[in-house]
Amino acid sequence: MDPIYKTDALIAEDIDAYLEQHQHKSLLRFITCGSVDDGKSTLIGRLLYDSKMIFEDQLDALQADSKRVGTQGQEIDFALLVDGLAAEREQGITIDVAYRFFATEKRKFIVADCPGHEQYTRNMFTGASTADLAVILIDARKGVLVQTRRHSYLCNLIGIKNIVLAVNKMDLIDYDQARYDAIVADYAAFAAEIGIKSFTPMPISGFKGDNITANSANTPWYTGKPLIEHLETVEIDNTTDQMKPFRLPVQWVNRPNLDFRGFSGLISGGSVKPGDAIRVLPGGKTSTITKIVTLEGELDVAVAGQSVTVCFADEVDCSRGNVIATADNPPEVSDQFEATIVWMDDDALHVGRSYWLKLGTQTVSVTIQQPKYTINVNTMDHLAAKTLELNAIGVAELSTDKPIVFEAYADSRTLGGFILIDKITNRTVGAGMLHFSLRRAQNVHWQPTDINREDHSALKNQKPRVLWFTGLSGSGKSTIANEVEKQLHLMNRHTFLLDGDNVRHGLNRDLGFTEADRIENIRRVGEVAKLMADAGLIVLTAFISPFRAERDMVRKMLPEGEFIEIFVDTPLEVAEARDVKGLYKKARSGQLKNFTGIDSPYEAPENPEIRVNTVEMTPAEAAEHIIRKLLPLK
């Protein structure tokens, strides 16, 4: 049990020399992953212990804990060192990623210990996204399991090039070489299938310490390096990004006074020096770098991986979300993509719903199409899917509400990797990797027409509007909208009323009442209303439209001030008592599923332009109230 990694002798002899040496060490970030109980935490505990990163007081506490709750009898249970949360210690499992730190004479290491349980896959993905290398553990008694495959697939998907296959618990199979060879062969077949080009297998025991810091006498047939030596020497080229074209996603504009305007960000690719010609995307304006500013003085050159502030020679428009790139080799701009998406939320993906997409420093609205397929990581089969459930991995097309600057994930993690955020719960619901821009976004251009929307509305002598009536079934939307249209018609206004039930007879007759179909229903109505508004009409729509996110989506399609949200405010009891169409009765008796207010939610508007209370007002009064609010109509 004596630590093999002694404290560096230089520390005691010549601290200045030690600091000089330590200062220039490189950094390797790696993860450990694999199935439940494959001994990941034990292995990390062992690495920390062997590199003297565990102090006496921690060791005392560990010895006491091991006897109390440990799973290794009277011996030290290293897993207790890293399982930091109370729930983890109680259940003896790893729930979330733990980051641990250690250094040897050659390198510094940050290791992320990733959970094995499938339900915590998102936490594993969190750890993997910043890693240079993955140690995939296999219990020698069990061989390649579902989680081994899943994690290998995820590691490869997220772009980890260095993979170590650590066949652990060799002590429990008497260091049987035949068994080890069989496992490695088994894994090699799978790895080839999913596109892992190479991996480094090694037989170890985290618990006993075999082949961790030195080659073990128990495995004389193993001729490779022990784990630590491999981690110390494996070639990680963190200069790869520096050899790519210059990219600087702008985080923040630095403007302390009128004489200084700098653009701050982390360089994601290439290098930059004063005098370089640059281009600001997505706009495309060009300028020249004048200086690179830091607290310690100006820099002659800055490279990928550094956080900097740069200044331009010209007053070029540039703000957060823009990307500063080398002028002659800028990244692409597009608004439609194909991507691989990993879903991480308990609520499945809503096809067609608007989410936030954050890529680099750009945050935009995005809608995702029905997945082309999901991937079964055990068989690598492509399965048809309507949505993405928790932990699903699928390929889908997505479109953003405005063009973003991007590169394929294979070329740039920064400009190709994104997260998806739910607009209501604010949770990070997914992560994705862009493959390529869909040709149609580039090749389908908006055809300019000579008669534009201003001409249409001028001829009709009115300002186009979309009067969006929302409220529960039976609240009186259609009745009031009908009344408003009648009065507008009398005032010589050009109008059109889109009614929920009517639209479902034609345009939307392929849609049902599931959440996904309701979203698509509203999206189509929104697009139709927008075309009619472009034609200069005052459009009235009467749809329950229960979700805030979709109403906001339509609002964003239209110019500022043209979307008028009218909340027909009727309490559920009143609407149910009216029950004009007898639907509440059916819903209550269970004949009708997904009925708003009964078994499907209604999200009332927070700040509607107009609110009408149908308990206090008659439909005619409500209509008059609305018209008055709309004036003037020009």
Partner 1 sequence: MRGRRYDFQRWANSSYQIDNRFFLERLKNPCSATRNIIQERLFPMTRNLTHLERLEAESIHIMREVVAEAEKPVMLYSVGKDSAVMLHLARKAFFPSPPPFPLLHVDTTWKFQEMYKLRDRMAQESGMELLVYQNPEAKERGINPFDHGPLHTDMWKTEGLKQALDLYGFDAAFGGARRDEEKSRAKERIFSFRTATHGWDPKNQRPELWNLYNAKKAKGESIRIFPISNWTELDIWQYIHLNDIPIVPLYFSAKRPTVERDGLLLMVDDERFPLQEGEVPVDRSIRFRTLGCYPLTGAVESEARTLPEVIQEMLLTTTSERQGRVIDKDGGDASMEKKKQEGYF
Of the candidates 87, 65, 84, 86, the residue with the CA atom closest to the CA atom of residue 76:
65
CB 64, min distance to partner 1, A: 10
Would you say 148 or 309 has its CB closer to partner 1?
309
Q: Does 11 bind partner 1 (CB under 8 A)?
A: yes
130 contributes a contact to partner 1 by CB under 8 A: yes
DSSP character for 510? T
101 binds partner 1 (CB under 8 A): yes
Q: How many CB atoms lie within 10 A of CB 321?
A: 19
The structure tokens 């502030």 sit at 309
Q: Which of the residues 205 through 224 are near partner 1 (CB under 8 A)?
A: none
Tokens of 560: 């500022």
Instruction: Report in angstroms how near the CB of residue 307 gets to partner 1 at its nearest.
Output: 4
Q: Does 295 bind partner 1 (CB under 8 A)?
A: yes
Instruction: Confirm or reject binding of residue 27 to partner 1 (CB under 8 A).
Output: yes
Among 21, 215, 251, 514, binds partner 1 (CB under 8 A): 251
Based on the shown chain and the rule CB under 8 A, indicate whether residue 122 belongs to the binding site for partner 1: yes
**Least separation in angstroms between CB 296 and partner 1:** 8
Of the candidate residues 41, 51, 66, 126, the single one contacting partner 1 (CB under 8 A): 126
Binds partner 1 (CB under 8 A): choice among 2, 174, 235, 314: 235
Question: In the complex with partner 1, which residue's Cβ is closer, 84 or 571?
Answer: 84
Q: Of 18-26, 226-234, 519-527, 619-627, which part binds partner 1 (CB under 8 A)? A: 18-26
Residue 110 near partner 1 by CB under 8 A? yes
3-state per-residue secondary structure call for 481-495? HHHHHHHHHHCCCCE
Give min distance, CB of 399 to partner 1, in A: 20
Q: How far apart are CA 114 and CA 97, in angstroms?
A: 5
Residue 21, interface with partner 1 (CB under 8 A)? no
Partners of 421 in beta bridges: 356, 428
Stretch that binds partner 1, among 23-31, 461-469, 523-531, 570-578 (CB under 8 A): 23-31
Q: How far is CA 533 from the centre of its chain?
A: 35
Helices H, strands E: what count in the chain? 20, 28
Q: Between 7 and 461, whose beta carbon lies closer to partner 1?
A: 7
271 scored as a contact of partner 1 (CB under 8 A): yes
Among 2, 56, 315, 450, binds partner 1 (CB under 8 A): 56
Shortest distance (Å) from residue 102 CB to partner 1: 9
Does the footprint of partner 1 cover residue 508 (CB under 8 A)? no
95 binds partner 1 (CB under 8 A): yes
Q: Does 601 bind partner 1 (CB under 8 A)?
A: no
Under rule CB under 8 A, which residues in 405-444 are in contact with partner 1?
A: 413-414, 417-419, 421, 426-428, 431
Contact between 617 and partner 1 by CB under 8 A: the answer reads no
* The only residue of 3, 6, 75, 99 in contact with partner 1, by rule CB under 8 A: 99
Residue pair 65/77 in contact (Cβ under 8 Å)? The answer is yes
Nearest to 487 by CA among 626, 282, 373, 335: 626
Strand blocks (E) in 65-132: 98-103, 107-113
d(CA 353, CA 368): 7
**Could you tell me if 84 and 90 are in contact, meaning their C-beta atoms sit under 8 angstroms apart?**
no
Residues β-bridged to residue 497: 540
Tell me the sheet residues that pair with 163. 134
- Nearest approach in angstroms of CB 82 to partner 1 is 7
Element (H, E) at 48: helix 40-50
Of residues 321-350, those binding partner 1 (CB under 8 A): 344
Binding of residue 26 to partner 1 (CB under 8 A)? yes
Residues 6+ apart with CB under 8 A from 187: 138, 144, 148, 152, 165, 199, 201
Cα dihedral 574, 579, 585, 587 sign: negative
Site for partner 1 in 450-489 (CB under 8 A): none
Shortest CB 320 distance to partner 1, Å: 5
- If binding is defined by CB under 8 A, does position 15 make contact with partner 1? yes
243 binds partner 1 (CB under 8 A): yes
Interface positions, 349-368, toward partner 1 (CB under 8 A):
356, 358-361
Taking the CA atoms of the chain, what radius of gyration do you get in angstroms? Answer: 31
Pair 291, 338: CB distance under 8 Å: no
Q: Is 365 exposed, middle or buried (0-12, 13-18, 19+ CB in 10 A)?
A: middle
| Distance separating alpha carbons of residues 504 and 526, to the nearest angstrom | 14
| Catalytic residue annotation | 545
Query: How many CA atoms lie less than 13 Å away from 261 in the CB half-sphere?
Result: 10
| CA 42/CA 206 separation, integer angstroms | 6
Q: Which of 49/584 has CB closer to partner 1?
A: 49
Query: ∠ at Cα 396 (390, 399), nearest 5°?
Result: 115
- For residue 436, give the 3-state DSSP assignment: strand
Number of residues that bind partner 1 (CB under 8 A): 87
Residue 295 or 384: the one with the smaller Cβ distance to partner 1 is 295
Instruction: Rank residues 235 and 510 by Cβ distance to partner 1 and give the closer one.
Output: 235
Q: Is 265 in the site for partner 1 (CB under 8 A)?
A: yes
Kindly state the smallest distance separating residue 285's Cβ from partner 1, in Å.
21
